[in-house]
Amino acid sequence: MCYFMKDLITKDKLKIFSSYGGDLDGLSRINKSADIETFGKSLDKVWGLISNKLQDLDLISRRLTSNDFTKQTLTELEEIADEESLQILTAKINFYSDFQKVRQILENIKSWTTNETDTVWAGYDNGEEFLIDLNQDIEKIKFCDFATLDKLEMEFAPASTYQEISLSNGWGDNFLKLAEDFDILHKKIMTNNYNVDKKQWWKVW
């Protein structure tokens, strides 16, 4: 689905939405022209999108959704929000940034891997086969897939996939640092060790 600029969620629109507590009738009553003009003819449409997506993000943050629902919501946000507002909205998910840090760890492993990488001791016929699995995991972690996070815990375990590949290809020391970083992030995500934001779901700041 294609969204025109006026239809996109922006930081200014989020600020206005938040200032009225998500109450569109409140905006209508006050009838502040500058706020209304920011939304233009897409006022009802974009206001509804912000309201719906903030509720969806609240459910995701409280871990009450399936992986499919989370992926669909985040994919839709990438289409309907500009870059700045996307960062604001995804920050409403407590664990989102940590999943992206896990994703970067996987990207580092990918950067050290080629089709010729020795992967035999890790159970892969060649580097190309390993990269197929790794790219799939990177894509799933991007969308906060907890099942893939559980899989990665095993992949990062001593004498498991990533360590075997690192030792066979001369980047064992680098792996140890990545494994340590992953363990910290995994524990934080799984124990839900976050300061809970007491703001109402619609508040952006």
pLDDT at 7: 86
**CA dihedral defined by 104, 109, 111, 114, rounded to 10 degrees?**
-150
pLDDT at 92: 93
pLDDT at 108: 97
When pLDDT is averaged across residues 11-16 and rounded to a whole number, the result is 96
pLDDT digits (tens, 9 = 90+) for 96-114: 999 999 999 999 999 999 9
Tell me what the pLDDT averaged over the chain comes to.
Answer: 92
Asked if 148 and 141 touch (Cβ cutoff 8 Å), the reply is: yes
Take residue 56 and report the two structure tokens written for it.
């969806």
pLDDT digits (tens, 9 = 90+) for 15-40: 999 999 999 999 999 989 999 999 99
Reported pTM: 0.90
Cβ neighbours around 12 below 10 Å, total: 13
Query: Distance (Å, rounded) from C-alpha 66 to C-alpha 179?
Result: 27
Query: Distance (Å, rounded) from C-alpha 7 to C-alpha 47?
Result: 10
CA angle 21, 28, 9 (to 5 degrees): 55
pLDDT digits (tens, 9 = 90+) for 75-100: 999 999 999 999 999 999 999 999 99
In this prediction, residue 152 has a pLDDT band, given cuts at 50, 70 and 90, of: very high
Query: Distance (Å, rounded) from C-alpha 169 to C-alpha 70?
Result: 36
Asked if 47 and 116 touch (Cβ cutoff 8 Å), the reply is: no
Query: Distance (Å, rounded) from C-alpha 127 to C-alpha 143?
Result: 25
When pLDDT is averaged across residues 186-199 and rounded to a whole number, the result is 85
pLDDT at 194: 87
